[in-house]
Amino acid sequence: MVASRAIGSLSRFSAFRILRSRGCICRSFTTSSALLTRTHINYGVKGDVAVIRINSPNSKVNTLNKEVQSEFIEVMNEIWANDQIRSAVLISSKPGCFVAGADINMLSSCTTPQEATRISQEGQRMFEKLEKSPKPVVAAISGSCLGGGLELAIACQYRIATKDRKTVLGVPEVLLGILPGAGGTQRLPKMVGVPAAFDMMLTGRNIRADRAKKMGLVDQLVEPLGPGIKSPEERTIEYLEEVAVNFAKGLADRKVSAKQSKGLVEKLTTYAMTVPFVRQQVYKTVEEKVKKQTKGLYPAPLKIIDAVKAGLEQGSDAGYLAESQKFGELALTKESKALMGLYNGQVLCKKNKFGAPQKNVQQLAILGAGLMGAGIAQVSVDKGLKTLLKDTTVTGLGRGQQQVFKGLNDKVKKKALTSFERDSIFSNLIGQLDYKGFEKADMVIEAVFEDLGVKHKV
C-alpha cells in the first residue's frame, strides 16, 4: 500500500540467450549486480512478456512494505523502458499467497495523521501509474489476495485466479479500524458496482475466486492441477503462469481484450447508480445499517462511505484525496490502535513458542459431546485427526455428532467443501458410549458438563 520513490537509473542486461521451450521462444537474462541485490521481487522474460515474481524471504506470506514497493517500482521502470518487453505478468512464488496485504507495522511509526496520509498517497501514486501502464499487466492470483494485495491486483489490466479453496480476495482493512488507502475505495465501486463494493469494504469478508469471477473482480479462472512429479501447488502455479503469459501476449498483440461484457443485472445496477436520487438512497440505507450495527463506536465504516461518496459525487481527484485524508485520520485513532494490537496478538499466539512436539497427535479422544466437545471434534476431524467422541447418553452423543456434521455441511452450502470432502472428513469421527480405543489415543481432552462432581468422576 505504500510506495517508495524509485531509486537509480535503469539497469543494463549484460547478456541474454534465446531458449526454446514448448515451441515458444523465451529469453533468459544474466542480470547486472545491481539487480541481484533485490530480495523481494525479481523478473524474467518469456518471449516478450516479463514475468514478475513476488517472493519475500523468511516469510510464509508476501506483504507490501517499503522494501517490496521500492523494488516493485524499480522493476516496473525497467520493464516500461525495455522496448523488447511488450507486456507483463505479476505472480507470487509462494503457494497459497499472492499478497496478504500491507505491512501494518508501517503505521506504528506514524505520529501524526499527515504521516499516515502520505503513506496512502504514495500507494495511490504507485497504483495509478500501474493502472495507466502503457504495457498491459496481468495479475496471476493464487492464494490470499487481501488488502493492499487486492488493490495491487485491481490496478492491473487483467486478473486471472486459481479456482481453489486457498484463493480468496478481500479488503479487510475495516477490521483493523482503517480503510483501503491505495485506491481501493475508488476502483472497487467502478469494478464491481457500488452495492457490492460497500459490502466488501464494510464487512471485510473474503470472496472466493468463483464468486469474484461472477462479481467482475476476477476476469478469468484456472482450475487447479493434481499431483504429478511436482506438488499440486507447484504444478498449479506453473500452469497459472503459462495461462497468464499467453493472455498477456494476446493483450499486447491486440488479439484478446481485457474488457468483459456485463450481464443484464450489472448493466441495470450501473445505470441506476447514474441517477442522483438512487445514489442518495443507497448512501442513506448503508449509513443507517452501519450506525445500527456499530452503535457509533467504530469510525472506519462511515469514513469508507464518505470516501466512496466523494469519488462518485465530486470526481476521482476528490475521491482519492478524501481516501488518503480519511486513512490518515483513522490510522491514529484509539480504535485502530486497539484493533491492530488485537491482530498482532492473534498472530503472536499462532506462533509455537514451545517447539516441535515430541510426538505428533494422530488419534484424539474427547470426553463429552456437548457444545465444547463437538466443536473441538469438528476442528480436529477437519485437520485429518481420527477422533473418538464419547458421551454418557445416546441422545447427547447423537446431538454432538449432528453438530459436527452440520458445521461441515454448512461449508458445503457455502461451496467451501464438496459433499465428498465433507463425508471424507466426517468419517474421521467415531462416536461411542464407552472408553474403547482410549488407550491408543495420543491425547485425551476433557470437555464434560461443568459439574465438579462429574469432572471428578471422569
CB-CB neighbours of 376 under 10 Å:
18
Cα–Cα dist 39/50, whole Å: 18
N- to C-terminal Cα separation, the chain: 54
- Nearest by Cα to 88 from 293, 252, 320, 206: 252
Q: Which of 71, 74, 151, 323 is catalytic?
A: 151
- Report the SS3 class of residue 41: strand
C-alpha angle 312/210/208, rounded to 5°?
Answer: 75
Catalytic-residue membership of 223:
no
C-alpha angle 317/172/120, rounded to 5°?
Answer: 35
Q: Which of 173, 233, 241, 323 is catalytic?
A: 173
Give exposure, 78-95, as e/b (b: 16+ Cβ within 10 Å). bbbeeeebbbbbbbbebe
Q: Which run of H or E residues covers position 344? A: helix 334-350
Cα–Cα dist 165/96, whole Å: 9
Cα–Cα dist 341/161, whole Å: 32
C-alpha cell belonging to residue 174 = 475495516
Catalytic-residue membership of 151:
yes
Cα–Cα dist 80/74, whole Å: 10
Dihedral sign, CA of 382, 385, 391, 393? positive
Active-site annotation, residues: 151, 173
